[in-house]
Structure 1
Amino acid sequence: MNRQPPPASRRRVLPAGAGTAAALLGPSPGDGTAAAAGLPRAGAAEVLQPYASYGFPDSLPSGTPGHGITRRSLAAWTPGSDRDLAFNTATVPLAERFTPVPANTTARAGQARISALAAFDHTAGSPPQGSATADHYAPTPWAYLDELVFWGGSSGEGLILAPNAPVVDAAHRHGVPVLGTVFLPPVAYGGQLRWTRDLVQQDAAGRFPLAAKPVQVATGYGFDGWFLTAETGGGDAALAADMQAFLRALRIAGAGHGLRITWLRAMNTTGQVGWQGALDLTHRLDPASGPVTAEVAPALREAPAPGEPAPYCYLPAGTLTAGGGRRTTSLGPGSLGPGTVHALGVRLTGHEDTVVAWRPGALAVHEGAVSPAAPSGPKVTDTVTADGAVPARLSRRRATAPVRHYALHPRFPGGKRDFLGGTCRTAFSLPGLRRAQNEPAAPLEVHTVHELFTVSMPSETRLLW
């Protein structure tokens, strides 16, 4: 499962050999300056860029890591030494799920379940603040997923991959647990049996020291468990028995924290590896859509029987056209009367013979407008200067009201504001701001955005030039 590294612009640039000395699943702490880290000023900008965590069980590969890859050890990781922890920690709690009337007569509740394995980025260089472009996988069929596996891992980058926070937050909003990956790859893809032995090593008392580490990582970052697959051939029955005992220890350690442990049975009881079955994928690309008439469809009763439609009522929400950007429409209950909304949908009707290929956003039922509280205590914690730009790290305290995310804007001379980005976390990494004129500092505004997309008054800090 070796893959070519992503472009250099999306990687952390480190001096040659630095990766082999790095322990932990996150970069080691420092005072936030390039000089303290012993790095040249020209390369310091990339050091402030956080990435999702990855590593090896214990021992590291020989040789020099590829460009932008930092080799780390799970055995040495601690939350207190991970300076990227605030950027990678999920903040949205796992929503409670419910089971509606089955969509058809053949659906059987509590039987078939779907565990989706999705690779969102390369193992190294996966940003914890989303992507700067639309070239990013954004899942939508949450209602069909029992769990989501943040798939990845390679012998050249790392075998253990913690999911990045935006993916966990998005899944948690829909009640879907997210698992990190422990991938012990086949020999054909650079797998080494010593990494399997590292994972299942025992101390003098017969305990598994590394069984506690994945639990510590999952609880530290706020995700829901681990997906493990041992696919490195060459083992024996003794190694298979150690793996089974390690899994039992891992499940016991994770049970107290409500963690899921999913095991892909590639290694059998003899220690050998084999696979069965196949997976075929079909891709469909929707054409551009024409204008549509939109209606919000609440149902005040459940569907009368499996396979039957819910008794929807339809409330006009206007006409939408392509290229109009995001649009929010608020509707009153009208003639619906009192009751409980059991189902909520959208009906889109195309005009004439035009194609309908829209992607609706959020639907919500609420009692009234909400004005969230502004975040408090925003401050710039780290800065460097690189090629005339100033990358920086910001932190703030969490707002008291329900928060969907925080939005950041710099304010330029003359009052102009630009959108820098949004995050659910209390830390944000700026790729680099440039001085507009001769102003001594750049005001940075931070707004709280509520789940219903109402926005707070700004809190402000200043980035000194």
Structure 2
Amino acid sequence: MADRKSSISSGVTRRSLLGGAVGGVAAALAVPAVASASPAFGPVGRTGAAAPSAAASGIPRAPGSAQGFPAWTLQSSDAVDAFIAWNPAADGDAKYFKSAVPIRQRIPLTSALQAQPALSTTPKLATYCQYYKPLLSDQDRYSVGGGQYTVAAEHDDVAAEFQYFPYGRSQDVHIPRVHAFTDIQAAWSAWYEPVPLIPNPAYIDVAHRNGALSYGVIDHPIMNSAAGDSAHDILIQDANGHFTVAERLVEAAEYFGFDGYFFNIEQSASTDQVAKLAAFCRYAKQYAAKLKLSHFDLQWYDGLTTSGSLSYQNQLDSANAPWIDPAFGDCDSIFLNYWWSTSQVNQSTAYAKTLGIDEFESVFFGIEMEGSASNYNTGLNVHAPLVVPTDGSAAPVASLALFDPEHQMVLTGRAKASDPTSLADVAASVYQRESVFWSGASGNPAAAGSPAAQTCGVSDFIAERSVIGEYPFVTRFNTGVGGTFFADGLEVSDAPWFNIGAQDILPTWQWWNVPIGDSGASGSLAARFDDSIAYDGGSSLKLSGTLDSAQGEGFRLYKTHLPLDVHGRAPEIDVTYRTGSAPATLLLGLTFDGNGATITWIPIANSTKGLSALGLQLADVPTHDRPLGRSGWRTATADIGRLARDSSGTITSISLGVIRADAAQAADVDYAIGEIRAYAGGPQHVGAPRGLRIEASAIVSESAQVRLTWNAVPDAWYYDVYSLSGSARSWLARVNGDCAYIDGLERAGAAATTLIGVSAISADGTESSPSTVALRWS
């Protein structure tokens, strides 16, 4: 696993020590010696409460849901006691909520190759978002009665389809598609639902796949239980002075595979409680180090001050800075409350300099985007420029934290949909809003927005990041949601589904269009995700439009740092596509270090007739174009060995473009791009999963709920689960770990058994033979 800081930064070290006591802070309590490292979630705790028994079958329940809530909280004595007593070894549901994707190393940030080269690479971005927000309805997914959360009638499938479960069978969810700007991703929830202490594992997976950190949330924890009995609150200490809940929090992060917590305390506390809470935070950091966790961060919210008052400072000052002092709270960063202006920004940066801290690592100015459309519209255009001026017109002073932009993104998208009752119309409207939010009003991250005109996107403030620094690199443009599922270009399921954890690495730039040739097009073509057809997964990349008097147009897609020589081997790049555009030629575009942003274009698909008449300088690279069976897809392979001889260093970006194949004929463009695969060497094979078994099942009439487990396969990218019947297969799930839950497995007629197969897929997309197990229907 990559080093904690290098995975999200370009070499900036952790903040400097604050250099002694900060004025107005009570003396910090001494932290007791950290407990010896032991198996996670051992039988520690004063209550001796029995751990919940493993569920025999049915939908796995999120950690803590056995306490009557859909997710863990630490807001009551009972919840604290249950958290202390909980043991994953005795919880049959726990393994279904583990992340299996390590954090990928990000490639160096290079200003010259950015969509907006003037942007500084130092500011960071944190986001706090709801998981799987419904597109069509904001009705309460849970109702409260008798102190228990129960599923609302209109969402009776919620446990499998929303927020707390990693995947399910629905399209009525918002799946974020842009991850190139985010460094920290934290959970949040609708106001009527508990904020998840443990992040959804699918969101951990997608954050890690894109090189970002994932935080859980410690929200309004109990610190002052009845009658002063601190044994029931989060500050409980055992006979040796160890902070038991702090240990459990670290162990939970280790077990479930996430990277720390956002500490959201919006309540007052006594001076003693403040001192104890600071010691609690220091102890948690020390315990994480004892367990050798590669990543464990704490981020403090600007609510509780070191005097014990609930007072939002809206700036970094002596009342809240000690929380990020290693000698006091030892939190890695602070989220400053939203009510700031130029004076608070100036005060904060000046104060940070006096303390010698790295303001980009440690100081995040919060922008509230959840509460109203006005907040959503003005957050980036009015507030963000005070911290990170656009166009590089002045130096940035700190980092940004965006609170729940998905909420208004979905609400405003729904309000602007042509038919607010149509899932397809609402989804299209929401994703158009998502494009504006990240890439600005133009939808092109390279086109600078204007704060005055309120046309800015995140791309006007934060430099794009990428993890594409080694072979193989494979993307199928699978967004993680669909109404169908495809494998090898063929439909293998017609059931709706979602799983953001199965999302591929999507384009860095959505959508940076560039002209090809001196009179090339600009805006004649459109790029978008198309969920009506896919080569693998639920979607593909669609390039469409009309090229008439212009020569051509392309889209820069991926920022990369891929070597041109791999132990003496030159890489190859495959592009898998379908098209009805006979008069249009598909081009692969590459940039190289040393050549700046100049794209080398390589014709790879369709007729090259008339290309010389267009006067374009195209690379002379051997290509091979072949059909793929009966699916209608074709794969074009570019052997870039010749470019490797003529160039040096690395491939710095990958683009696709389209030009007219005939100078005298207009071109109606319709390309579906199903896969880009960059590799060096032959296929990478992995073995079939061993130890496959049905852990539990529940059969109701002609349908079954099935829990599967197997032994993890070294170097597997992911696993696909199918029901098998002769040579036919029907897709059931795609997961990253060593277990899967299947909901609604249908019996085929009067069959006595259904054969279930699990295949492992290697990093270059090569599928193993399946391991199989039979479900008996009686």
Same fold judged by TM-score > 0.5?
yes
- Report the counterpart of residue 129 of structure 2 in structure 1: 118
- Report the counterpart of residue 756 of structure 2 in structure 1: 444
Q: What code does the residue aligned with 1:138 have? A: I
- Report the counterpart of residue 278 of structure 2 in structure 1: 244
Do the aligned partners of 1:55 and 1:71 also contact (CA within 8 Å) in 2? no
1:108 maps to which of 120, 127, 139: 120
1:226 maps to which of 253, 261, 276: 261
Do the aligned partners of 1:240 and 1:271 also contact (CA within 8 Å) in 2? no
- Report the counterpart of residue 272 of structure 1 in structure 2: 310
Q: 1:94 aligned to 2:103?
A: yes
For residues 232-381 of structure 1, the aligned pairs below 5 Å read: 233-255=267-289, 256-258=292-294, 259-269=296-306, 270-274=308-312, 275-277=337-339, 278-279=367-368, 280-282=375-377, 283=409, 285-286=431-432, 291=544, 294-302=586-594, 304=596, 309=597, 311-318=598-605, 329-334=635-640, 335-338=642-645, 339-349=648-658, 364-381=678-695
Report the Cα distance in structure 2 between the residues aligned to 1:440 and 1:266, rounded to whole angstroms: 61
Q: Secondary structure at the match of 2:731?
A: coil
Q: Secondary structure at the match of 2:233?
A: helix
TM-score (norm 2): 0.46
Higher Cα Rg: structure 1 or 2? 2
Q: 1:389 aligned to 2:427?
A: no
1:403 maps to which of 672, 694, 716: 716
Greater RCO (Cα-Cα under 8 Å, separation 6 or more): 1
Report the Cα distance in structure 1 between the residues aligned to 2:80 and 2:288, rounded to whole angstroms: 26
Report the Cα distance in structure 2 between the residues aligned to 1:326 and 1:424, rounded to whole angstroms: 29
Residue deviations 1:191-237 (CA, integer Å, cap 9, x gap): 99649981223345544221111110011111111111112x34343
Q: What code does the residue aligned with 2:310 have? A: Q
Report the Cα distance in structure 2 between the residues aligned to 1:214 and 1:337, rounded to whole angstroms: 49
Alpha-carbon distance change, 395 to 204 in structure 1, aligned in 2, over 3 angstroms: closer
C-alpha RMSD of the superposition = 3.8
For residues 143-154 of structure 1, the aligned pairs below 5 Å read: 143-152=180-189
Q: Any stretches of 5+ residues in structure 1 without a counterpart?
A: 1-22, 34-44, 62-69, 186-190, 320-324
Q: What code does the residue aligned with 1:276 have? A: Y
Residue deviations 1:171-202 (CA, integer Å, cap 9, x gap): 222221211111118xxxxx996499812233
1:29 maps to which of 49, 53, 68: 53
Q: What code does the residue aligned with 1:379 have? A: R
Q: What code does the residue aligned with 2:105 have? A: E
Moved more, 278-287 or 159-168: 278-287
Q: Any stretches of 5+ residues in structure 2 without a counterpart?
A: 1-48, 65-70, 133-140, 143-157, 313-336, 340-366, 369-374, 378-408, 410-429, 433-525, 529-541, 546-584, 607-630, 661-665
| Residue 348 of structure 1: how far off its partner (Å) | 4.0
Q: 1:417 aligned to 2:704?
A: no
- Report the counterpart of residue 169 of structure 1 in structure 2: 205
Report the Cα distance in structure 1 between the residues aligned to 2:586 and 2:299, rounded to whole angstroms: 41
| Residue 291 of structure 1: how far off its partner (Å) | 2.2
Choose between structure 1 and 2: higher strand proportion. Answer: 2
Report the Cα distance in structure 2 between the residues aligned to 1:98 and 1:88, rounded to whole angstroms: 29
| Residue 353 of structure 1: how far off its partner (Å) | 10
Moved more, 292-301 or 95-104: 292-301
- Report the counterpart of residue 462 of structure 1 in structure 2: 774
| Residue 264 of structure 1: how far off its partner (Å) | 1.7
| Residue 357 of structure 1: how far off its partner (Å) | 12
| Residue 369 of structure 1: how far off its partner (Å) | 2.7
| Residue 394 of structure 1: how far off its partner (Å) | 0.7
Do the aligned partners of 2:685 and 2:762 also contact (CA within 8 Å) in 1? yes
Do the aligned partners of 1:113 and 1:146 also contact (CA within 8 Å) in 2? yes
Report the Cα distance in structure 1 between the residues aligned to 2:207 and 2:736, rounded to whole angstroms: 13
- Report the counterpart of residue 92 of structure 2 in structure 1: 83
Alpha-carbon distance change, 439 to 355 in structure 1, aligned in 2, over 3 angstroms: closer
Residue deviations 1:91-122 (CA, integer Å, cap 9, x gap): 2221112223112454334x311112121147
| Residue 157 of structure 1: how far off its partner (Å) | 5.7
Report the Cα distance in structure 1 between the residues aligned to 2:63 and 2:659, rounded to whole angstroms: 42
Report the Cα distance in structure 2 between the residues aligned to 1:107 and 1:202, rounded to whole angstroms: 47
- Report the counterpart of residue 6 of structure 2 in structure 1: none
Q: Secondary structure at the match of 2:288?
A: helix
Do the aligned partners of 2:604 and 2:638 also contact (CA within 8 Å) in 1? no
Give the number of aligned pairs: 400
Report the Cα distance in structure 2 between the residues aligned to 1:97 and 1:108, rounded to whole angstroms: 17
Do the aligned partners of 1:152 and 1:161 also contact (CA within 8 Å) in 2? no
Alpha-carbon distance change, 237 to 457 in structure 1, aligned in 2, over 3 angstroms: same
TM-score (norm 1): 0.73
| Residue 146 of structure 1: how far off its partner (Å) | 1.7
Q: Secondary structure at the match of 1:55?
A: coil
- Report the counterpart of residue 245 of structure 2 in structure 1: 210
Do the aligned partners of 1:254 and 1:260 also contact (CA within 8 Å) in 2? no
Q: What code does the residue aligned with 1:29 have? A: S
Moved more, 73-82 or 357-366: 357-366
